[in-house]
Structure 1
Amino acid sequence: MKYQIVLLFLASVCFENAISLNEAQMKAGIKLIKNTCRTKTKITDEQIAKMHEGVWDDADDVTKCYCHCALGMMKMQAKNGAFEYELFEKQKPMIPETIRETLIASVDNCINAGEGLTKKCDLSYAFFKCVYLYDPEHYMFP
């Protein structure tokens, strides 16, 4: 638990100070988010793996709430649960140059992915699903 608190602190410092991360650091942060949200939502490794394989179960509330947890931990979430582009803008300088262009293109494509939805978990899920479907080869979210 102490390790997670230290990593969360370091991540927040990086986010606020716009320090660029390398891919290994970014992957470590994603792993932390994945582990934290897995515990919080009780999602299984199989459910997470299915998303990364392109199998998105639109009826699975656990997966949707896992996405909500992850987007919140990534500090890119509006109060209603939707992706908030302005918060993403603040984090752009941190994105490793090797993946910046593809990640920004995916996010730009999915800004309004949850349009018309009202439930927080549904909004976050719609965003992650859109990002995956736009560019499955480079999908790197938790």
Structure 2
Amino acid sequence: MWQPKMLFFLTVVYCINIASTRMTEKQFEAAVKLVRNMCIGKTKVNPGEIDKMHNGNWDVDNNAQCYMWCSFNSYKLMRKDNHLDKKSVETQLALLPENLHDYVVNCVEKCENAPQNYEDKCVAAYEYAKCMYFYDPEKYFLP
């Protein structure tokens, strides 16, 4: 069953794809907030664990790691083998606000092989996110 928030998110992404334009900062922030709220609900993560990651403390529980997988999966950034989907990243890059372009390109280059464990989707997503955070904490934007 489709949740209203998910339908809204898909509609926004569809409309952006049709227009072939970049998201504004406000649209981007709304999309990030939507994914955050959806993934909190799906993973039952304590929001304090998410805040810890955003403050540089990556000593979090498995629910927080699965939250990161949910985030990556929502943006279709990971393949089924739990590796980064570079094609999808390139597609999404065209939609991001211009000020994030270089950060994302450099993060993908630096963090493409960050995971030590591709067997566990949650751990792999967590390791990607952690690498992206420490690449440039000021620009880090994952939900």
TM-score (normalised: structure 2): 0.88
CA distance in 2, matches of 1:28, 1:7: 9
Q: In structure 2, what is the equivalent of residue 99 of structure 1? A: 100
Matched residue type, 2:107: S
Deviation at 1:18, TM superposition (A): 4.0
Deviation at 1:98, TM superposition (A): 2.0
CA distance in 2, matches of 1:56, 1:35: 20
Deviation at 1:119, TM superposition (A): 0.8
Structure 1 vs Structure 2 CA RMSD? 1.9
For the Cα contact (< 8 Å) 2:65–2:123, is it kept in 1?
Answer: yes
CA distance in 1, matches of 2:34, 2:53: 18
Asked if 1:77 corresponds to 2:87, the answer is no
CA distance in 1, matches of 2:116, 2:18: 28
Structure 2 CA distance for partners of 1:15 and 1:130, relative to 1, 3 Å: farther
Matched positions, count? 141
Q: In structure 2, what is the equivalent of residue 87 of structure 1? A: 88
Asked if 1:6 corresponds to 2:8, the answer is yes
Deviation at 1:23, TM superposition (A): 1.3
Q: In structure 1, what is the equivalent of residue 47 of structure 2? A: 45
Structure 2: unaligned runs, 5 residues or longer: none
TM-score (normalised: structure 1): 0.89
Asked if 1:140 corresponds to 2:141, the answer is yes
Matched residue type, 2:28: M
Matched residue type, 1:23: E
Q: In structure 2, what is the equivalent of residue 123 of structure 1? A: 124
Once the two structures are aligned, what percentage of the paired residues are identical?
Answer: 31
SS in 2 for 1:136: coil
Structure 1: unaligned runs, 5 residues or longer: none
